[in-house]
Chain A
Amino acid sequence: MKIVVCLKPVPDPKDWGKLKLDPETKTLVRTGVGTVINPLDKHALEAALVLRDELGGSVLVVSMAPPDAGPVLKEALAMGADEAYLLSDRAFAGSDTLGTAHVLASAIEALGGSDVILCGDETIDGGTAQVSAQVAEFLGLPNLMHVSHIQAQAEGPFVVHSQVEQGHLVVEIAPPLVLSVVKELNTPRYVTMMDILDAEEKPLVTWDNEQVCAGESCVGLADSPTQMADLFAPPKKKQAEMLPGTPREQARELAGRLRRLGFC
């Protein structure tokens, strides 16, 4: 079974306090901010490794990212992926979700397709949750989101649980398919020192647009259909209000306000 995992390097959540917005370029200033595998993508990779161990085959990781994203892909190799492909070309810079999905889908086609494509449900920086569905659309494959359980078999359909508000759907879905996963699916494994050494023997390949064959349309900032009008940090406001009454009255009023705001 050939399994592809789409993986995105994102700013380390521990460093979010250091992130700043450049008011001129409207981009994030990432100086001093670490980069990690998007947390839900790690769950997707873990699911891929479990599938490979159960059914055989290989796990390939693809990531559209700047050239310095190599260490993040090395971590994916250390977790157990067999090959990693960094899709990096100036033409891809500034792509919106459609452009990103187009590049990823083109790369998957260039790799000869895949039985199972796994993604995280969403990324912690963009948070659009659009890319997996768009990849599926480009490849003409069925897509299921919010996946919290996968029961796979070598022949026949997978039984997949997809989270909904009141529980989960149980869906039979046959490969080839695209699944995007939630954190409840599994616990990603630790990377051991032996894994780090093994990863150094595995292929980490950089592909530009010539190898990806994504063409020029709909990739890059200029050709993306989504154009950002503005980006700004909202001004921080603080206002203290003293609630009148006895402690009991104050507590009742506070609880009511919190309930109305949706906190409980």
Chain B
Amino acid sequence: MDFAFSDREELLRKSVREWAEQELPPRMEEMEETGEFPMDLMPAMGRMGFCGVITPKQYGGTEMGNLARILVLEELGTVCPAIPMAMQVHHMCTYALVTNGSEAQKEKYLPPLVKGETMGVVAVTDPSGGSDVAGMQTSAEKKGDTWILNGRKCFITNSHHSDIWVVIAKTGEGRKGLSAFIVEKDFPGAVLGRKEHKVGLRGANTGEMAFQDCEVPAENLLGEEGAGMGVALSDITNCGRPGMTAVGLGILNAVLKEAAKFANERTLYGKPIARLQSIQNHLAEIYQDRELARLAAYRVGWMLDQGMRVDTESALAKSFACEAAARSARKAIELHGSYGIMNEYAVQRLLRDAIVTIPAGGTAEIAKLVMSRAALAAAS
């Protein structure tokens, strides 16, 4: 078993880190205050190759793969977790198009997404709930050469910065009763709703989109009619959860760095608090969470690159990394004492960011449901 990264992966990590450390910190205060994603960074991230990391070269991507994607998102998240949050959903849009799109759809929609000319969206969650995918109310009815969509999607990342939406809607009953569509922002009847104000990951835009007799051309059906459940679940499993794992991992890196730095600099009883055993316990637990999240994240990326199924592994990695990020951020705040709840210190933001990762890309409860199937299978 080889746990070493290749020279390519090491250089990728280094180059992403250099870009992130230079370009993101000057933007973070504004992102935190306004809740807006800095759209002018998207073309730059396109040029760096981040937007097309899992997109085939023929559509402008680098096709570097899923482990490379984890590394990109992790490094971005170590500096500013809101950026990989938005980017990982952008990747979900490209993934849905690559795996389900017709050649014409790929040629039309992938290049602008890969160049960072716009952001991608995958809209699954209805106000009725995200976990009960089959119970969604948003519907699509075919009239001639047009699908007519009606309904509302909520908690959609990148909603207000995207021109290209992958939307799941009800076209029938039962498991085959959902279909996927590519909706352009300017299609008649496509409407943007409210922007949400989240407690964390504030720089990643989240909002509502509505469909009021929205006219979608028949050629914009993504995949087969009735295949929408598969489009949604494979996207969440193979792209969404690994992506959220990497966001959690980035937060864990940042938490560990802030906690270790403060422990070395803060002096009590005439010595740095890093020499106190209770503080060392906090640091050891944060380190443990970070290292285990790394193992889980990289394994999922590697398995995907080998063409292996990751249903259980991506649920495990996502739920562990995001819960660990929140747990560790809280420990880091305790380690900081009262400084930890002051705006000037990053750990309070990191806790808020970590909390937001927990329901994103599938709730912790759904992840446990997936893992429980593997656990029960162990009996046989």
Contacts and interface: CB of A to CB of B under 8 A. Distances in A.
The answer on A and B forming one complex is yes
A70 B8 CA distance: 11
Nearest to B19: A190
A190 B18 contact: yes
A193 B48 contact: yes
Interface in A174-203: 190-197, 199-200
Contact of B8 (A190, A192, A194, A196): A196
A190 to B, nearest CB: 5
Contacts of B68: 193
Interface stretch (B9-17, B31-39, B158-166): B9-17
Contacts of A193: 12, 15, 48-50, 53, 62, 64, 68
B49 A75 contact: no
Contact of B7 (A74, A192, A194, A197): A74
A237 to B, nearest CB: 18
A78 interface: yes
Nearest to A79: B15
B11 A194 contact: no
A23 interface: no
A139 B15 CA distance: 35
A192 B49 contact: yes
A196 B47 contact: no
A192 B48 contact: yes
Contacts of B10: 71
A28 to B, nearest CB: 21
B48 A78 contact: no
B164 to A, nearest CB: 22
Interface in B1-33: 7-8, 10-12, 14-15, 18-19
B48 A190 contact: yes
B47 A192 contact: yes
Contacts of B15: 75, 78, 190-193, 195-196
Interface string B335-353: 0000000000000000000
A78 B50 CA distance: 16
A200 B6 CA distance: 12
Nearest to B9: A196
A197 B62 contact: yes
Name A's interface SS.
Answer: helix
Contacts of B64: 193, 197
A199 B15 CA distance: 13
Contacts of A75: 11, 14-15
A74 B12 CA distance: 11
Contacts of A195: 15
Nearest to B23: A190
A191 B50 CA distance: 12
A194 B114 CA distance: 12
Size class of B's contact patch?
10 to 19
A194 B62 contact: yes
A71 B11 contact: yes
A199 B53 CA distance: 17
Contacts of B11: 71, 74-75, 78, 191, 196, 199
A77 to B, nearest CB: 10
Nearest to A72: B11
Contacts of A200: 8
Contacts of B18: 190-191
B48 A196 contact: no
Contacts of B53: 193
A197 B62 CA distance: 8
Interface in B248-291: none
A197 B64 CA distance: 9
A256 B304 CA distance: 64
A194 B50 CA distance: 10
Interface in B48-80: 48-50, 53, 62, 64, 68
Contacts of B49: 192-194
Nearest to B57: A197
A244 B50 CA distance: 59
Interface string A187-225: 000111111110110000000000000000000000000
Nearest to B62: A193
Nearest to B8: A196
Contacts of B50: 193
Interface string A74-111: 11001000000000000000000000000000000000
Contacts of B47: 192
B21 to A, nearest CB: 10
B266 to A, nearest CB: 17
A233 B240 CA distance: 50
A3 B270 CA distance: 56
A87 to B, nearest CB: 19
Contacts of B19: 190
Nearest to A70: B7
Nearest to A191: B15
A78 B18 CA distance: 14
A199 B10 CA distance: 14
15 contacts: A71-B11, A74-B11, A75-B15, A78-B11, A190-B15, A190-B19, A191-B15, A192-B15, A192-B48, A192-B49, A193-B15, A193-B48, A193-B62, A197-B8, A197-B62
Interface of B: 7-8, 10-12, 14-15, 18-19, 47-50, 53, 62, 64, 68
Interface of A: 70-71, 74-75, 78, 190-197, 199-200
Given A193-B15, A194-B62, A195-B15, 11 more contacts: A71-B10, A78-B11, A191-B11, A191-B18, A192-B49, A193-B49, A193-B62, A193-B64, A196-B15, A197-B8, A200-B8
- Would you list the 10 A-B pairs with minimal beta carbon distance, nearest first? A193-B49, A191-B15, A193-B62, A192-B48, A71-B7, A192-B49, A190-B19, A196-B11, A194-B49, A75-B11
